Structure 1
Amino acid sequence: MILTLPDGKELNYEEEVLVKDVVKGISEGLYRDSMGAVLDGEVLGMEDIINKNGNFKVVKFADEEGKEIFWHTSSHILAHAVKNLYPDAKFAIGPAIGDGFYYDIDVEHRFVPEDLEKIEAEALRLAKENLEVKRSVVSKEEALETFKDEPYKIELINELPEGEEISLYKTGDFVDLCRGPHLENTKKIKALKLLSIAGAYWRGDEKNKMLQRIYGISFEKQKDLEEFIQMREEAEKRDHRKLGRELDLFSFHEEGPGFPFFHPKGMVLRNTVMQWWRGVLEENGYGEILTPIILNEALWHQSGHWDHYKENMYFTNIDEGAYAVKPMNCPGSILVYGSKQHSYRDLPIRLSEYGLVHRHELSGALHGLFRVRAFTQDDAHIYCLPSQITDEVFKMIDLADYLYSTFGFKYSIELSTRPEDFMGDIESWNLAEESLEAALIEKGLPYKINAGDGAFYGPKIDFQLEDAIGRTWQCGTIQLDFQLPKNFELSYINEKGEKETPIMLHRALLGSLERFLGILVEHFAGKFPIWLAPVQVKVVPVSEKFGDYAKEVADKFIAEGFRVEVDNRDEKLGKKIRDGQMEKVPYVLVVGEKEMNDKTVSVRVRDGEDQGAKSVEDVIAEFKKEVKEKTIK
């Protein structure tokens, strides 16, 4: 048996071996620092057995897979602590998530923040006991007997496919139904904090019972926990839902859960981004289209969405015919391409669309602008020759780089490969994955493989953005599709006069426009650069008698295309300046007698800096330069 390490070194074994023995064989120090390993994309715990060849990578806490193992074990410690303190509690699920873990609990007692302190103390006590985490495999009958008093576990067990392995993990005297993997023991969990309590419907379905969800986070070191708490506090200040209300950008209403309402200032932000990006796409050879929101059911059968996406779609009947509200824009674009014949000389054809799509999300999953039921995608579909794939992917990567750098984002790249419910044949998938990977390699870009996370019709390149406080957001995507052009019998006439099937590239770089705007709000903490700010300049007269001059100044800025407000309220100057700063207006221009006589304005920057008096013309020139250069301050 051969295990290949990331550096290409090969480890040979005569028989099956435990993960921990492989890691110890590499280095005892590495073993002490490690959480587990990954074998050909499968995450393994230290006690798991390896019995096949593969690519082997040891994972530490710094690795995504390492955090997953660490936090999954921490969720079991949380449940163990709850069981000790509230013996009547029933347990649903407790996964690791992107920033920690949670456990959904059914208990008559209504948790309050003081309870979290007690549970946290008990969880830390358990972790310090260095409890071993033991895995066992049982029959369905044994599992049902073990969890006879746990209705949620029984439901999960009864839904498992016949013959599927059922594993239990025991930590001390607490046993849980779980696939794993987990840490060997609890000694690595040195710092743990329970963060919040929320309601969560069982399985996210509002028809089911409301459970209590406890969120937590844990680390190897106390200082890492302290840094996390500090970042969390900063993130709470930047929460787009809070800032959206405070800055009057958007709102949410119970009459339309999951459907955002944009206010005038929010529409300024939205339209500014859309119009700028529309211009960039036009310069890069895209033609803009607009396709219907509702299309007949037969189309969605043909596209494959019916088989792979039906549970996320909305349906209606028109003139006794069955229709669906589109969850994706691609079929509409395909109909536009297929509306006339194309020559190979026409390709590539780049069609862009700000397409409004609707996808059903369970109410428990909705989250501000980040998880909605209706959103606009900056979709584009490129129809090209096989020989043009690499060049088109290069162009899209360059576009992504330009987009994200304009807003001050760093980014990383993932290559997402074939999912379990893929459409088409494996040969086409392999070719598509190889084509995208070859483009990334030729471009010299670092990337990681995100196994099994491709779209059902093709693999994709995903862009992970890093915001101002170091959080990552999955945003843009480039997808290669050999399937849909075949399903719709798309064609072009080649140089021999014969019909051939084009390659289709899907591309959304803003992704969901609503989500991107939410990210921008949090990235800038509402302090948008001047080109994006809904109100760019606020003119503040010292008193009522300078109101006419304030209007004269405002009119000059408006004539140059700026978005301006005048604060004529009968309030003290200090309050009006502070209010402008609270509204996060980039610049407040104060005008009084001296400014009126000198035809100047006194410039106050959003952060409180007083730049003193400047001529109106000079200030306009400075601000226009900032807008043109998309300056970020």
Structure 2
Amino acid sequence: MCGSSHDAFLRLMNEQTQNKPAQTEFDLDTIRHSCAHLMAQAVKDLFPETQVTIGPVIEDGFYYDFYRETPFVPEDLKKIEKRMKEIAKKGLDIQRQEMPRDEAVKFFKDLGEDFKVEIIESIDQGDAISAYTQGDFTDLCRGPHVDNTKRLKAFKLLSTSAAYWRGDERNPVLQRIYGTAWRTKDELKEYLDRLEEAKRRDHRKLGKELDLFSMSEDVGPGLILWHPKGSRIRYIVEEFWRQEHYKNGYELVYTPHTAKSDLWQTSGHFDFYKENMFAPMDVENKEYILKPMNCPFHIQIYKSHLRSYRDLPLRWAELGTVYRYERSGVMHGLLRVRGFTQDDAHLFCARNQIEAEIERVLGFVLYILRSFGFDQYKVFLSTRPDKSVGSDDDWTTATDALQKALDKSGLDYEEDPGEGVFYGPKIDIKIKDSLGRFWQVSTIQVDFNLPHRFEMSYVAEDGKHHQPIMIHRALMGSIERFFGCLIEHYAGAFPLWLAPVQVILLPITDNQNAYAEEVAAKLEEKGIRVEKDLRNEKIGFKIREAQLAKTPYMLVLGDKEVQSGQVAVRKRRSQDTHTLSLDDFLKQLKHEIDTKAIDVL
């Protein structure tokens, strides 16, 4: 901002500079928000034609969106970061001022900051218009900020991307710069080290290296091709899921991938979710739509018979593939796709059964997550929003049931007031991975809306028709997203029970190939997933290849092993080899598989 404009701004504004005592400690959000302004100032210094829009704090950092003709490139980020450090070292005081709305509009309009003008005009009448000034740069902001730029000592710009103004693809395309900021340089270094480790574990990178899955432009973005090894893991996950559902009193169902648009109009999806649904297709002069949800199908199964209170609760689960129109800018590997399989279930019960069912579901969720090695969570209880359906009694009964189940579980949880869905309260569970990141996976939602929309009923003990309560429930969220999480959690080195290949046989020379075939047959007979490397290569090369493939166990076979009828066992992360009988090795494998032993890299 030029000096004369800045002086005019200060004259226009009420002088309300905060004269608080200097602080020595600031929370991370304040530091990061101040760094977003520092970055905006550096951008305006280096690229004066750029317009600034918004710069919020996000998890572990911040970003700022800019409007300019030319996208930022990595070299630009280096220049911007260098300029940020120069400004920080100047020790510029950061001051807060307030001004009348009309004067604020005129000031930013004179600067050519059209987006700031739009923001001001969207602020409710009567709310204060505040801005923060550092040196010759002033930005519209509610704050708070640090008191001086010298407080900003540990920051790093990370990446750029495109974004739409206000998230609407009909609006101008902006250039977003992401950064991170911490209190100390040591904290910054620790975070950057974690980022490097996260890059090493990136499921897209490991998916290609380990030949697990791929995507093809010929097929279409956001649609996953599962390769044999990835499919093997998926099969293991799904079979475990199915077996445990039968053990826990569920029945499995299958439903179509598409349905007439009338079904989605009845459910409300067509009205409230249309922008995330694929366009209708014409079939014999009827509109059909790829399903974005499984719920209406399970309701149709329910309605295929007259139900009695004696039938309840009904627990129906489905690994149902759904299709959602995600915009190209938000898709990300397995984590955000257009076609995915939900580990979905819907429970239909009477009001007096809600508490017991929620408690049962929550225990099931925790069992499944712990089986895959996740035992640390963030849990949220989301309560009634301002706009909702259902009676006060329904909401109280459902919310109390969720809360009591959480209390009995011993889990720490946070209440998230007003963040339930319009049709009922919910529990959301985020799992913590080996890098300390949290992933949203499990959800338990109570629904009063769909039973009403579809006129569901059951005959109660009084002989009258009553409306059942519907519970939506997902344990893993989606198979694709959960698989991406597993890859990164284990860095592709899956625990033995999940590994696509559990044991690889490595003969030292061709002389041991026959013995390798014999050992392989015995392992396969016991259900062990085996590969044989019979190539005419040096044993060191074979071991290295097996380690790169992250195979849990290598059996090195030489003349000594052939003569003794034993195997030389080497684990993927060990340099040591120890000799066992094949029976003892099988006992070791069985114990590790049965206990689902976890081996996190």
* TM-score, normalising length: structure 1: 0.84
The equivalent residue for 2:596 is 630
Seen in structure 2, the aligned counterparts of structure 1 residues 574 and 140 have a Cα distance that, compared at 3 Å, is: farther
Seen in structure 2, the aligned counterparts of structure 1 residues 103 and 344 have a Cα distance that, compared at 3 Å, is: same
Q: CA deviation at 1:554?
A: 1.1
Q: CA deviation at 1:412?
A: 2.4
Distance 1:247 1:632 in 2: 20
Contact 1:432 1:481 survives alignment (8 Å) = no
Seen in structure 2, the aligned counterparts of structure 1 residues 85 and 614 have a Cα distance that, compared at 3 Å, is: same
Seen in structure 2, the aligned counterparts of structure 1 residues 204 and 162 have a Cα distance that, compared at 3 Å, is: closer
Distance 2:492 2:396 in 1: 44
Distance 1:418 1:71 in 2: 32
Distance 2:381 2:188 in 1: 31
Report matched runs for 1:165-244 at 5 Å: 167=129, 169-172=131-134, 173-177=136-140, 180-183=142-145, 185-186=147-148, 188-200=151-163, 211-244=174-207
The equivalent residue for 1:55 is none
Distance 2:527 2:327 in 1: 43
Distance 1:271 1:344 in 2: 36
Distance 2:278 2:188 in 1: 43
Matched, 1:290 2:254: yes
Residues 588-627 of structure 1 show CA distances to partners (whole Å, capped at 9, x for unaligned) of 1111111111111111100034232211222122112211
The structure 1 residue matched to 2:333, chosen from 368, 372, 383, is: 368
Matched, 1:89 2:50: yes
The equivalent residue for 1:533 is 499
The structure 2 residue matched to 1:600, chosen from 553, 566, 574, is: 566
Residues 112-148 of structure 1 show CA distances to partners (whole Å, capped at 9, x for unaligned) of 4343233223223444525425364654785376146
Contact 2:294 2:320 survives alignment (8 Å) = yes
Report matched runs for 1:432-451 at 5 Å: 432-451=398-417
The equivalent residue for 1:276 is 240
Seen in structure 2, the aligned counterparts of structure 1 residues 250 and 177 have a Cα distance that, compared at 3 Å, is: farther
Seen in structure 2, the aligned counterparts of structure 1 residues 135 and 505 have a Cα distance that, compared at 3 Å, is: farther
Residues 18-41 of structure 1 show CA distances to partners (whole Å, capped at 9, x for unaligned) of 9x99xx9xxx99x86464xxxxxx
Contact 1:169 1:175 survives alignment (8 Å) = yes
Contact 2:389 2:448 survives alignment (8 Å) = no
- Gap regions ≥5 residues in structure 1: 1-17, 36-60, 62-66
The equivalent residue for 1:519 is 485
Distance 1:82 1:345 in 2: 68
How many equivalent residue pairs? 576
Contact 1:138 1:168 survives alignment (8 Å) = no
The equivalent residue for 2:460 is 494
The structure 1 residue matched to 2:320, chosen from 355, 379, 392, is: 355
Q: CA deviation at 1:283?
A: 0.1
Q: CA deviation at 1:225?
A: 1.0
The equivalent residue for 2:223 is 259
Distance 1:450 1:626 in 2: 40
Amino acid at match of 2:212: L
2:411 alignment partner, SS class? coil
Contact 2:317 2:345 survives alignment (8 Å) = yes
Distance 1:405 1:563 in 2: 24
Matched, 1:310 2:263: no
Q: CA deviation at 1:424?
A: 4.9
Seen in structure 2, the aligned counterparts of structure 1 residues 544 and 116 have a Cα distance that, compared at 3 Å, is: same
1:116 alignment partner, SS class? helix
Report matched runs for 1:44-55 at 5 Å: none
The equivalent residue for 1:546 is 512
Matched, 1:402 2:371: no
Percent identity among equivalent residues? 45
Amino acid at match of 1:227: E
Report matched runs for 1:15-94 at 5 Å: 33=25, 35=27, 61=28, 67=29, 69-94=30-55
Seen in structure 2, the aligned counterparts of structure 1 residues 322 and 73 have a Cα distance that, compared at 3 Å, is: farther
Report matched runs for 1:537-616 at 5 Å: 537-616=503-582
Q: CA deviation at 1:197?
A: 2.9
Amino acid at match of 2:131: Y
Distance 1:264 1:138 in 2: 65
Amino acid at match of 2:436: G
Q: CA deviation at 1:337?
A: 1.2
Residues 508-543 of structure 1 show CA distances to partners (whole Å, capped at 9, x for unaligned) of 010011100000000000000111011111111111
Amino acid at match of 2:52: F
What RMSD in Å do the two structures reach over aligned CA positions? 2.8
2:329 alignment partner, SS class? helix
Contact 1:249 1:267 survives alignment (8 Å) = yes
Deviates more, 1:606-615 or 1:259-268: 606-615
Residues 177-225 of structure 1 show CA distances to partners (whole Å, capped at 9, x for unaligned) of 55x4433535553311111233446566778765433210011222211
The structure 1 residue matched to 2:85, chosen from 124, 130, 142, is: 124
Q: CA deviation at 1:289?
A: 0.7
Residues 288-346 of structure 1 show CA distances to partners (whole Å, capped at 9, x for unaligned) of 11112212222222222223212111132222222322212111111111211221122
Seen in structure 2, the aligned counterparts of structure 1 residues 496 and 170 have a Cα distance that, compared at 3 Å, is: same
Distance 1:364 1:541 in 2: 49
Deviates more, 1:110-119 or 1:141-150: 141-150
Distance 2:168 2:234 in 1: 32
Amino acid at match of 2:285: E
Contact 1:140 1:157 survives alignment (8 Å) = no
Q: CA deviation at 1:435?
A: 3.4
Distance 2:242 2:101 in 1: 58
The structure 2 residue matched to 1:143, chosen from 105, 127, 130, is: 105
Residues 257-302 of structure 1 show CA distances to partners (whole Å, capped at 9, x for unaligned) of 1112111111111111111011111100000111122122222222
Distance 2:43 2:211 in 1: 41
Deviates more, 1:480-489 or 1:180-189: 180-189
1:530 alignment partner, SS class? coil
Amino acid at match of 1:535: V
Distance 1:181 1:85 in 2: 24
Seen in structure 2, the aligned counterparts of structure 1 residues 92 and 362 have a Cα distance that, compared at 3 Å, is: farther
Distance 1:382 1:226 in 2: 48
Q: CA deviation at 1:457?
A: 2.1
The equivalent residue for 1:9 is none
2:273 alignment partner, SS class? helix
Deviates more, 1:506-515 or 1:140-149: 140-149
The equivalent residue for 2:10 is none
Distance 1:373 1:153 in 2: 35
Amino acid at match of 1:189: L
Q: CA deviation at 1:578?
A: 0.4
2:568 alignment partner, SS class? strand
Seen in structure 2, the aligned counterparts of structure 1 residues 242 and 205 have a Cα distance that, compared at 3 Å, is: farther
- Gap regions ≥5 residues in structure 2: 1-15
Contact 2:101 2:120 survives alignment (8 Å) = no
The equivalent residue for 1:386 is 351
Report matched runs for 1:105-116 at 5 Å: 105-107=66-68, 111-116=72-77
1:314 alignment partner, SS class? coil
Seen in structure 2, the aligned counterparts of structure 1 residues 453 and 486 have a Cα distance that, compared at 3 Å, is: same
Distance 1:140 1:304 in 2: 43
Distance 2:97 2:214 in 1: 47
Contact 1:418 1:451 survives alignment (8 Å) = yes
The structure 2 residue matched to 1:331, chosen from 296, 300, 303, is: 296
Q: CA deviation at 1:425?
A: 5.8
- Greater relative CO, 1 or 2 (CA 8 Å, sep 6+): 2
1:553 alignment partner, SS class? helix
Amino acid at match of 2:474: A
